Structure 1
Amino acid sequence: MQASTSRFARAVRRLNALCDAQPYVTGWCLIGLPTSGSAGDSAGDRVGDTAGVMRADRHGTRAFPAASTRKVAVMMAALRAVHRGELDLDTRLTIDGRYRDRVFTGLLQHLDPGLSLSLRDAVTLMIIQSDNLSTAHVLDLVGLDAVNDLCASAGLDGTRHRHALIPELAPDHPVDASNVTTPADQARLLELITHGSAAEPEANRLLGCPPELCSYALDVLCRQQFRDTMPAFLPYRTKIAHKSGAGWRDVSDGGVFFGGDGPRYVLTVYTDELPAVLPDGLPGFSGARVHIAHLSRACWEEMHP
């Protein structure tokens, strides 16, 4: 069943109320998939209807640190290169020791160098374990220019990939010191992947990926192992194709949420300017994860009648 206009509007009001209560910045973007009608101008910071799809956002075009949510665009750039015949998912990569002292998450940094993986497996580890050694080796093949070109082609105007390996930064670093995106951009990317998997020609054209590769991307995102943000307060086995991230000042997550009738909505959430300690005594990073889980739960309650 498609989410009704009133349910969508209630979800938006609940999201804003939860964000108003936090002592840090939260940006989000919510897209109903598919639906009809309009949510009404009073429901959130921005609510509208484009081609029958309900959309709303809070700080939707504000630049946030992309952190590891950037890896969705890296994956899609790699898959576009596969479709063009420039790369092959069966290509073997040797995970060497070049980047081991410059990464902060993942499994491979803890294993002996010299492990041989297929590009397919490296992409999978990059997404489901946020493995930064995998990411570095995938980007060696794809290149940052190709990732930025993919984002430009997809209309992600507020997204910029500056670093293959994110440098160590102070918590008060300028947001544009590293890779940046916006809640609306990441939601658009996930929406395009979803439409592309359903063989919608415009989405396939913008991403440069055929339906089978868009479906593959959703499948990889559904195998995500980090489940302490958006999935945390949802029923066991709720299907979400998502990728989370955390940086020196921020926590984020974004995904496509499924029901029994297919994809229902896209939700992306970015928090920024996190304090070291919150008023309730929780560390800022821990509190932000709980906050994102509450936002996800609020949407799920309204969008899964």
Structure 2
Amino acid sequence: MTTLRPGTAQARIRAAFDEAGVQGFFFAREIDGDRTIGVQADEPVCLASVFKIPVALAYAREAAAGRLGRTERHAVDPHYRDGGIGTSGCADAIEMSLRDLVHMMMTMSDNAATDVVLDRVGLDTVNRMLAELGRERTRLIGGCRALTGSLFADLGVTTEAEAHERMAELAAQEPGKALELSVCVPERTTRGTARDIAELLAGIWRDEAGPAEACAEVRAVMSRQIWPHRLSSGFDDSYRVAGKTGTLPGWRNEAGVIEDPGVGRWAVAVFTRSDRPGLRDPRADRVIGQVAAVAVDELRSPTL
């Protein structure tokens, strides 16, 4: 693997992170070559919902092996629901196939669907898979309920509405305090590195992270993500973008694959951290697409 020498691209990426007021952790690589570029690529980061990528891959591998059925029906019981989007916010009884729950998990980041899938696949199965694939620095401590429970405990609240109120208070009074919450400290929560996640994606896109059938299933569902405001914002419609976002107080992330048909494919992972814990942070969202575009331009260049 050839790592690009520090120079203009790295300087532009660092400057973009600085201008957005965030600390950036970034890695990108060619999928069909060996060139890479990174900034703090091996520092630990909070994955937030980016952890749903390995959950989807573990599901697809188990399905391909016949150890679970894609059309199995599973209830999304109330104890899974956190009041968020998708099945998480539904009021009435819900039952879906496992395959459709994965669709909800990956396209809109449905937390309740995620925990049903993870409970079926098994946390140990996901972590063993990551170790098997050489992603030793990426580890899950649990599903969305584990992350939410940790956040609620640190904030001293019991509901999502109370959590939003408390976070608003922190943003106004002690903005940096959010980064001390357990769920926002990589060593205390579900974690990884930018390099680990981008390399995992490269393996999925090269059919090396599991059976070809499983990798194709993950690629397809990631291509249907509905959020355009981070990674996709750096590219026009001539590109294909498949990704997964992740958000926690102070953390805004996305990892995915950028494809210029007939030209090349690049795996990109961008994680940002700031002392702004609010629900909206347009600068942090926008910089994810900006640095991805810089990296793709550099990696597609015929010269190093």
- Structural mapping, 1:160-239, within 5 Å: 160-164=139-143, 165=145, 166-167=147-148, 168=151, 169=154, 171=178, 172-174=180-182, 175=185, 176-196=187-207, 203=208, 207=209, 209-236=210-237, 238-239=239-240
Residue 58 of structure 2 corresponds to 77
Structure 1 residues 302 and 81, CA gap change in structure 2 (3 angstroms): same
- Contact map agreement 1:68 1:245 (CA 8 A) in 2: yes
Letter paired with 1:219: A
Letter paired with 2:107: I
Q: Which runs of 5+ in 1 are unaligned?
A: 36-52, 197-202, 278-282
Structure 1 residues 29 and 9, CA gap change in structure 2 (3 angstroms): same
- 1:286 to 2:282 alignment: yes
- Contact map agreement 1:148 1:160 (CA 8 A) in 2: yes
Within 2, Cα distance between the matches of 1:24 and 1:243? 20
Please give the per-residue CA displacement for 1:225-263, whole angstroms capped at 9, x wherever unaligned. Answer: 011101124213631111011012200001111111265
Residue 48 of structure 2 corresponds to 67
Q: Give the structure with the higher percent helix.
A: 2
**Matching residue within 126, 132, 151 for 1:153:** 132
Residue 109 of structure 1 corresponds to 88
Higher RCO (C-alpha 8 Å, min separation 6): 2
Residue 94 of structure 1 corresponds to 75
Letter paired with 1:252: N
TM-score (norm 2): 0.80
Residue 119 of structure 1 corresponds to 98
Within 2, Cα distance between the matches of 1:10 and 1:265? 19
The total of aligned residue pairs comes to 268
Q: Which runs of 5+ in 2 are unaligned?
A: 156-177
Structure 1 residues 156 and 105, CA gap change in structure 2 (3 angstroms): farther
Structure 1 residues 304 and 8, CA gap change in structure 2 (3 angstroms): farther
Within 1, Cα distance between the matches of 2:8 and 2:125? 39
Within 1, Cα distance between the matches of 2:246 and 2:271? 9
Letter paired with 1:256: V
- Contact map agreement 1:90 1:118 (CA 8 A) in 2: yes
Q: CA RMSD in A?
A: 2.6
- 1:137 to 2:111 alignment: no
- Contact map agreement 2:194 2:269 (CA 8 A) in 1: yes
Letter paired with 1:298: V
Q: Which secondary structure does the structure 1 equivalent of 2:79 belong to? A: coil
